[in-house]
């Protein structure tokens, strides 16, 4: 934490590129994994991770150490970038372009199971993508970052009880969509 703050201070005051590179290298893999868990595509994950860190560096002067930790602030930006991605035309276009014929079939049973799981994940993503931004943020942070309700409340700066209520509301919607209720 102290190291993050020292690096941020150097970036803001001296426009220090070495400090920026060091700060990025500390969090790059962690953010990439968070993004990859959601998009399941290496190239897209790399692109989004790069966009996230560009946004971080462009807005680092807005970071308020009194409000939250740098990591919390970073995940807020990451989650917003993912919400934007799922709303984008490029996402809708790429999801329409993907066809089953392009999949490699190694074991037919394995393929069917993998396809069913992918379809389930896609269906859940579609349900979540239709929700308000804050609901999407809560879902993504809980499922893909595996953050606690308290951590999510700190990241989003809303009460923990609100996070819980909204999260369970999302789960109820997803179950309804899958006819589990």
Consecutive H or E run containing 5: helix 2-14
CA–CA separation, 147 vs 150, rounded Å?
8
pLDDT digits 0-9 by tens, 61-96:
999 877 888 999 999 999 999 989 988 755 555 554
Report the C-alpha gap between 53 and 31 in whole angstroms: 9
Q: Looking at the domain covering 102-181, what would its CATH class be? A: mainly alpha
Task: Give the per-residue pLDDT at 164.
Answer: 96
Does pTM surpass 0.75?
no
- For 1-98, the fitting CATH number among 1.10.3720.10, 1.10.1740.10, 3.90.1150.10, 3.90.79.10 is 1.10.1740.10
Crossing angle of the two packed helices 42-58 and 17-39, in degrees rounded to 10: 140
pLDDT tens per residue across span 32-69: 999 998 888 899 999 999 999 999 999 999 998 778 88
Domain boundaries, given as residue ranges, for the chain: 1-98, 102-181
Q: Would you call 83 exposed, middle or buried from its count of C-beta atoms within 10 A (0-12, 13-18, 19+)?
A: buried
Tokens 């943020």 label which residue?
137
Give per-residue pLDDT as tens, 133-175.
999 999 989 988 889 999 999 989 999 999 999 999 998 988 8
């Amino acid at each position: 934490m102290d190291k993050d703050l020292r690096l941020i201070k150097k970036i803001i005051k001296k426009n220090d590129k070495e400090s920026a590179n060091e700060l990025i290298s500390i969090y790059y893999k962690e953010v990439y994994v968070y993004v990859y868990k959601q998009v399941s595509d290496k190239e897209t994950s790399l692109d989004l991770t790069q966009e996230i860190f560009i946004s971080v560096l462009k807005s680092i002067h807005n970071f308020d150490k009194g409000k939250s930790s740098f990591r919390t602030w970073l995940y807020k930006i990451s989650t917003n970038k993912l919400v934007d991605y799922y709303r984008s035309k490029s996402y809708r276009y790429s999801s329409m372009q993907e066809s089953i014929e392009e999949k490699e079939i190694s074991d037919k049973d394995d393929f069917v199971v993998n396809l069913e799981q992918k379809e389930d994940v896609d269906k859940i993503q579609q349900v979540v993508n239709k929700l308000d931004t804050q609901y999407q943020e809560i879902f993504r942070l809980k499922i893909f970052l595996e953050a606690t309700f308290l951590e999510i409340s700190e990241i989003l700066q809303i009460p923990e009880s609100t996070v819980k209520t909204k999260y369970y509301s999302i789960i109820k919607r997803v179950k309804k969509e899958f006819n589990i209720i």
